[in-house]
Amino acid sequence: MFLNGSLFWYMMGIIFVVIAFAFKAFVEDRGWVLTWWKGLIAVVTYTIFSLSLYAWGTLVGENESGAGFKFFLLGLFVTLVLAVVLWRFLSAKPKNA
């Protein structure tokens, strides 16, 4: 089945690379510095967001829609917290600026 197959995940991987480059462009255009650890936080944040979506779908497939949605909301909350933290780190001016 396509949605469980290798081709699907190859495509997801390619899209992820595009998203990563787009994010880099977005950060640089705002004049921010994307260090390795800020990039790592960005990857973790996006992974948690992706996993919450995937888990939501999986639980829907298991006929546990209610639990899936709550799980997604929990993941979304963690994602938002991390995203705010990341935004603050990215937009912070260096101390000697």
Site residues (CB under 8 A) for another protein?
A: 1, 3-4, 8, 11-12, 15-16, 18-19, 21-23, 25-26, 29, 50, 53-64, 66-67, 70-71, 74
Q: Provide the 3-class DSSP secondary structure of residue 96.
A: coil
Q: Which is nearer to another protein, 63 or 96 (by Cβ)?
A: 63
Beta carbon of residue 2, minimum distance to another protein (angstroms, whole number): 9
For residue 62, give both structure tokens: 């298991």
Q: Which is nearer to another protein, 29 or 36 (by Cβ)?
A: 29
DSSP assignment letter at 19: H
Beta carbon of residue 20, minimum distance to another protein (angstroms, whole number): 8
Q: Which is nearer to another protein, 74 or 84 (by Cβ)?
A: 74
Beta carbon of residue 8, minimum distance to another protein (angstroms, whole number): 6
Own/partner pairs, 71-76, CB within 8 angstroms, 24+ separation: 75/48, 75/49, 75/51, 76/49, 76/52
Q: Provide the 3-class DSSP secondary structure of residue 53.
A: helix
For residue 19, give both structure tokens: 């998203």
